[in-house]
Structures are given as C-alpha cells and as structure tokens.
Amino acid sequence: MATDRNDPTGFEADIKPLFREKDRQAMLRHFDLWSHDDVSRHAERILARLREGTMPCDHAWPQEQTDLFQRWAETGSRE
Ligand code: HEM
C-alpha cells in the first residue's frame, strides 16, 4: 500500500541500478540519477516522464520497473 513506510525497497539496492551510465550522463545537467537526494527531490517529475514513456529517450521502461520506482517514491524514498 502506498503509505507503507515499512516497504523495504531502497535506493542503493533497488532503484539506482535501474539507471544506466548513459541515463546519468544525459540527465546530469538537470539532476544526478545516481544520487538518492536528487532522485527523491525530483521523483514526481521523473515518475511523470517514466509513465508517459518519454524518458529514457531511447525506450520506455517496462511497467513493473516504473511501478517499483513509484512504490519507492511513495513509501518514503528510503536510501
Ligand atoms: C531513466 C532515465 C531517465 C530519466 C528518469 C529521465 C528523466 C527526465 C526528466 C524528469 C526530464 C525533465 C527535466 C525537467 O523537468 O527539468 C528529462 C528531460 C530530458 N531528458 Fe531525460 N531522463 C532519463 C534518460 C535520458 C536519456 C537516456 C536521454 C537521452 C540521451 C535523455 C534526454 C533528455 C533531454 C534531452 C531532456 C530535455 C528535453 C525534454 O524535456 O524532453 N534523458 N529527463
């Protein structure tokens, strides 16, 4: 459930590995996709683009991957 603060999904273990080196490089002038603080600060905009399928620029993420990101963002953005 969206407000479950006990969700074990964590940035280092589960979220950061979803972002490729090329994603990080392409987006560095906006935010650092390998930084917990940057990704949690910009999570709403990031999620919106993942859901639209307009980011990453070369292919849309599979839905399960976007769902995982959303769950992480909505359950406290754990490190
Ligand atoms: C999972 C990986 C990525 C995520 C989550 C992501 C997310 C975003 C977000 C949230 C924005 C809007 C920035 C803002 O509102 O200030 C954006 C813009 C942009 N991204 Fe990415 N990005 C990713 C990968 C990439 C890749 C691989 C490329 C292409 C090499 C790319 C190229 C761009 C460009 C050119 C813009 C500015 C133009 C626009 O808004 O469409 N991004 N991205």
Q: What is the pLDDT of residue 6?
A: 74
User: Residue 42 is encoded by which pair of tokens?
Assistant: 């910009």
Q: Specify the residue with its C-alpha closest to ligand 1, atom 9.
A: 46
Check pocket membership of 31 for ligand 1, CB cut-off 6 A. Answer: no
CA distance 69 to 43: 9
Question: Are 15 and 79 in contact, with CB atoms under 8 Å apart?
Answer: no
Q: What does the pLDDT average to over 25-51?
A: 98
Q: What does the pLDDT average to over 16-36?
A: 98
Distance 10 CA to ligand 1 centre (A): 22
Distance 6 CA to ligand 1 centre (A): 30
Question: Are 38 and 31 in contact, with CB atoms under 8 Å apart?
Answer: yes
Check pocket membership of 73 for ligand 1, CB cut-off 6 A. Answer: no
Angle between helices 43-52 and 63-74 (to 10 degrees): 160
CA distance 66 to 28: 20
State if pTM tops 0.85.
Answer: yes
